[in-house]
């Protein structure tokens, strides 16, 4: 590793990463790295493979070609699991359970961040008072917030967020930005996808372009 | 990094699936109702002849139970795949096979256990002698989890494909046959006053093997299904 003493360590590094679906190239080769404390924006048009890339980084798809390193060592599913949370298009909430019950299941599986509680996380994302409502009765934006509460609760270092701003109102967008800022300042890293036209991210994030 | 311990994770998955089943009680009642209707129809179709009903009782109840279980099998992972819960389960730092085992256990508790509870009633309706009833229950207690485990592997294998119901039924048939033969064999032997322990022991052995292997196969199959 070529990290200078004052630079944060590289968490995730991809070298010539590419993915094929039935011999059709989906994307790649891609080179990028994400350091602790960084928020990286994955840019690309519809169908450019942003979601596929996130699914590979989460460990749902296997890498076809290229190398992936996690904390300086070759990527292995077992070391990576639990240190990453993935928030995809499907939010992973059971619609017959309440937001609280959904988070309790997630906490049981992943463990919780130090000093974090289910109710506190729900209050932080603006769902106080809706804890016991079945997720099916929440609005699309509230469902998204319930899924975002998982980010606060679980002890993961790397967040993989697929279109986290979709369905959210003004305050919801501010909420996501606040979550990202807090997570990166505490040494976590985030990969966010966006289809280019609008970026709600503050500042000038690192960019990963799907197309050369 | 402190990972969540195993026991609470198992409990969380089990509790989640049982709560979900309880919130949809109507779905649990469906196989029970189906079994009740089918067994009620037998005497009407065959005539209320004691000797005949007694002879078919064991087999009829077993086949009805196993078919009733198939009704709910198809849905085992479907909603979890659709809403992304399965992805969250697979990405958690827990052994997937064990989590699958918990899901299968929850499935068995919600579909097979109610059926086993009404089995004496169904068998009674077909005049199965009371002395044979315990053997029927033993056979069901071993055959139903075996079917849940085998079924789960096949559901996981077909999870990636749409409209997998037909494929599932075709694949499950050859696996059902030995289960039915041994379970019905035990009941028939007991009815004729012959020793019935051997077929029960075979079922037990098959169950022990499936308990170890099926969750592993299930986890591997689901990983492949989602990796596409």
User: Are A99 and A125 spatial neighbours (Cβ–Cβ below 8 Å)?
Assistant: no
SS3 of residue A27 by DSSP: strand
Q: Which residues in chain B have Cβ-Cβ distances shorter than 8 Å to A144?
A: none
* Closest CA–CA distance from residue B10 to any residue of chain A (Å): 8
**pLDDT (tens digit per residue) in A51-89:** 888 888 888 888 878 888 888 888 887 778 888 899 988
Q: Where are the domains of chain B?
A: 6-226
Query: Which of B19, B83, B92 is opposite residue A95, by nearest beta carbon?
Result: B83
Contact B129, B191 (CB under 8 A): yes
What is the separation of C-alpha A52 from the centre of its chain, rounded to a whole number of angstroms?
A: 13
State whether residue B91 sits within 8 Å of chain A by CB.
yes
* Percentage with pLDDT > 70 across chain A: 92
What is the reported pLDDT for A3? 41
Look at residue A2 in the predicted model and tell me its pLDDT.
41
Interface test mutation site (partner A, options B22, B84, B86, B110, max chain A beta carbons within 10 A): B84
For residue B62, name the pLDDT band (cuts at 50, 70, 90): very high
B110 in contact with A, Cβ within 8 Å = no
Provide the token pair at B148. Answer: 């849940």
pLDDT digits (tens, 9 = 90+) for B66-120: 889 888 888 888 888 888 899 899 988 889 999 999 999 999 999 999 999 999 9
- State residue A5's pLDDT score: 41
Nearest to A81 among B2, B79, B93 (CB): B93
**What pLDDT was estimated at residue A67?**
86
A17-25 contacts: CB < 8 A, separation 24 or more? A17/A53, A17/A56, A17/A63, A17/A65, A17/A66, A17/A67, A17/A68, A18/A64, A18/A65, A18/A66, A19/A49, A19/A52, A19/A53, A19/A56, A19/A61, A19/A63, A19/A64, A19/A65, A20/A64, A20/A65
pLDDT digits (tens, 9 = 90+) for A116-134: 888 889 998 888 898 899 9
CB contact under 8 A, A61 and B227: yes
State both tokens at A50.
């942003």
Q: Which DSSP string corresponds to A42-108?
A: EE--TTSSHHHHHHHHHTSS---EEEEEETTEE--HHHHTTSEEEE-SS----TTSBHHHHHHHHHH
Please tell me the distance in Å from B77's CA to the nearest CA on chain A: 13
**Nearest chain A residue (CA) to B20:** A96
pLDDT score at A203:
66
Gyration radius of chain A's alpha carbons: 17
* B85 interfacial to chain A (CB closer than 8 Å): yes
**A96 Cβ contact list (under 8 Å, min separation 6):** A134, A135, A136, B19, B20, B23, B24
Which is higher by pLDDT, A4 or B71? Answer: B71
Q: Which of B76, B104, B23 is nearest to A97 (CA)?
A: B23
pLDDT at B170: 86
**Structure ipTM:** 0.85
CA distances from B145 to B15, B62, B116, B138, B142 (A): 19, 13, 11, 12, 6
Residue B162's pLDDT is 72
Candidates B88, B103, B220, B225, partner chain A, best to mutate (most A CBs within 10 A): B88
* The two structure tokens encoding residue A134: 């079945």
Given a cut of 90, is residue A198 above it in pLDDT?
A: no
Q: Which residues pair with A12 in a beta bridge?
A: A34, A70
Average pLDDT, chain B: 90
Query: What is the chain A residue with the closest CA to B6?
Result: A109
| Distance from C-alpha of B89 to C-alpha of B104, rounded to nearest angstrom | 14
């Amino acid at each position: 590793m070529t990290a200078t003493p004052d630079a944060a360590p590289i968490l995730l590094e991809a070298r010539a990463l590419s993915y094929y679906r039935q011999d059709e190239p989906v994307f790649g080769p891609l080179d990028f790295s994400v350091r602790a404390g960084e928020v990286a924006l994955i840019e690309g048009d519809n169908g450019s493979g942003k979601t596929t890339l996130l699914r590979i980084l989460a460990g749902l798809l296997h890498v076809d070609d290229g190398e992936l390193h996690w904390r300086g060592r070759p990527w292995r599913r077992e070391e990576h699991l639990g240190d990453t949370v993935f928030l995809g298009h499907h939010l992973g909430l059971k619609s017959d359970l309440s937001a609280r019950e959904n988070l309790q299941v997630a906490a049981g599986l992943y463990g919780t961040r130090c000093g974090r509680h289910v109710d506190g996380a729900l209050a932080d994302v603006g769902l106080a008072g809706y804890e016991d409502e079945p997720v099916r009765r929440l609005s699309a934006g509230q469902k998204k917030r319930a899924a975002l509460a998982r980010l606060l609760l679980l002890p993961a270092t790397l967040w993989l967020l697929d279109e986290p701003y979709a369905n959210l109102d003004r305050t919801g967008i501010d909420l996501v930005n606040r979550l990202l800022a807090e997570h990166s300042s505490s040494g976590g890293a985030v990969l966010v996808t966006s289809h280019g036209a609008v970026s709600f991210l503050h500042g000038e994030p690192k960019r990963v372009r799907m197309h050369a | 990094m402190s990972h969540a311990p195993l026991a609470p994770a198992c409990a969380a998955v089990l509790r989640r699936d049982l709560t979900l089943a309880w919130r949809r009680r109507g779905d649990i009642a469906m196989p029970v109702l189906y079994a009740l209707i089918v067994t009620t129809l037998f005497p009407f179709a065959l005539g209320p002849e004691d000797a005949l009903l007694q002879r078919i009782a064991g087999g009829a109840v077993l086949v009805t139970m196993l078919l009733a279980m198939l009704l709910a099998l198809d849905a085992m992972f479907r909603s979890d795949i659709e809403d992304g819960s399965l992805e969250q389960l697979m990405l958690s730092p827990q052994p997937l096979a064990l989590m699958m085992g918990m899901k299968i256990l929850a499935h068995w508790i919600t579909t097979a256990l109610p059926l086993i509870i009404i089995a004496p009633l169904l068998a009674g309706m077909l005049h199965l002698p009371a002395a044979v009833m315990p053997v029927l229950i033993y056979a069901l207690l071993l055959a139903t989890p075996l079917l849940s485990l085998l079924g789960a592997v096949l559901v996981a294998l077909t999870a990636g494909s749409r409209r997998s119901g037909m494929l599932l039924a075709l694949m499950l048939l050859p696996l059902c046959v030995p289960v039915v033969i041994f379970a019905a064999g035990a009941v028939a032997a007991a009815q004729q006053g012959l020793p019935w322990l051997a077929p029960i022991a075979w079922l037990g052995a098959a169950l022990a093997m499936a308990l170890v292997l099926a969750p592993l196969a299930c986890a591997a199959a689901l990983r492949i299904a989602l990796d596409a």
